[in-house]
Amino acid sequence: MRMVCAKMVPKVLSDEQKKRRKELCLDLLQSIENVPDLLNSIIRCDETWVFMYDPETKRQSMQWNSTSPPRPLPQPPQKTGVILSNFKVMLIVFFDIQGIVLAGCVPSGQKLYQQNYIEVLTKERERARRKRLELWRN
């Protein structure tokens, strides 16, 4: 006999959810067969909490010291560990296969809702349309 640990999974899907995911994956595979360049046009999104601080690097905290020090020897410079600030913001990044398309922060004190995404995506769609029109005119 031996002991085994339970495996952590992010979500337990129902049979209906598994079936729906399989259908969506098969649909995506069929779309890729029909339009081979489809994956290059997909924009993905991710969000994360970031702390607002600007840590000084070890190189930035270097000091010049004399090679022939006076007596008594000076204390070497000290550097404390990075202390996170209490202020943090939600960073939202939209990116495609070539890199970041759009990045922004959720205003302080505002929660992340579906409406926020809709507003950001609407603005991005309009910006992309204007850019496409400029390229077309040139």
Secondary structure of residue 133 in the 3-state scheme: helix
Q: Strands of 88-96's sheet, edge to edge?
A: 44-51, 88-96, 99-105
Average pLDDT over every residue of 47-63: 70
User: Does the pLDDT of residue 97 top 80, yes or no?
Assistant: yes
Q: Which region, left, alpha or beta, applies to residue 109 given φ > 0 means left and ψ of -120 to 50 means alpha?
A: left
Rounded mean pLDDT of the chain?
Answer: 77
Return the beta strands (E) in 61-136 as ranges.
88-96, 99-105
